[in-house]
Amino acid sequence: MHEFISKSEEETKAIAREFSASLKGQEVVLIYGPLASGKTVFVKGMASGLGIDEDLVSSPTFTIMNIYTGEKLLFHLDLYRAEEKELDLLGIEDFLGMGVLAVEWGEKAESQPWAEGSIRIRILPQGEERKIIIEK
Ligand SMILES: Nc1ncnc2c1ncn2[C@@H]1O[C@H](COP(=O)(O)OP(=O)(O)OP(=O)(O)O)[C@@H](O)[C@H]1O
Ligand SMILES: [Mg+2]
């Protein structure tokens, strides 16, 4: 387990960049944190660490999954509005192992078989700062 304090969006990206640069390329990463805590910012940093342009990363309200390519592949799930049925329809198992999977609102994926053994990122807002906990 690693703990960091981030004082800015840029610091959060840097923490995420270093984290994802250490990945093999097929991990599942569940991201926890309240609204506007920096989950998408963290995914941008992850993209950058995987050799992907971070500007590709966005979280449109009604899109459940985005796929970004660069040096590696990054699948980005945002489960804020997703229902379990939809999650089943996606068939995540079929592309696991092709790339890194980053999941915003990780709590909604916890009962999925593919979430077992995943890495957890917890973002805890503390005033203007964010505590970021990486649980491997
Ligand atoms: N230390 C910090 N780390 C990350 N973001 C920060 C930090 N301090 C302030 N912010 C701001 O908080 C906001 C985080 O937005 P972001 O979209 O990443 O949150 P989110 O958790 O993905 O939100 P949502 O729940 O809507 O998906 C940004 O506006 C960012 O600039
Ligand atoms: Mg988001």
- Residue-by-residue pLDDT tens, the chain, 136 positions: 999 999 999 999 999 999 999 999 999 999 999 999 999 999 999 999 999 999 999 987 788 999 999 999 999 999 999 998 899 899 999 999 999 999 999 999 999 999 999 999 999 999 999 999 999 9
11 Cα: distance to centroid of ligand 1 (angstroms): 12
Nearest of 66, 79, 73 to residue 109 by alpha carbon: 79
User: Look-up: residue for tokens 């991990």?
Assistant: 27
pLDDT of residue 60: 79
What is the third-level CATH fold of 2-135?
Answer: Rossmann fold (3.40.50)
Say which amino acid occupies 18: E
Nearest to 38 by CA among 105, 108, 123: 123
Q: Does any ligand 1 atom lie closer than 6 A to the CB of residue 57?
A: no
Predicted confidence at residue 39, as pLDDT, reads 98
* pTM for this entry: 0.98
CB count within 10 Å of CB 92 equals 20
Distance between CA atoms of residues 53 and 102, nearest Å: 16
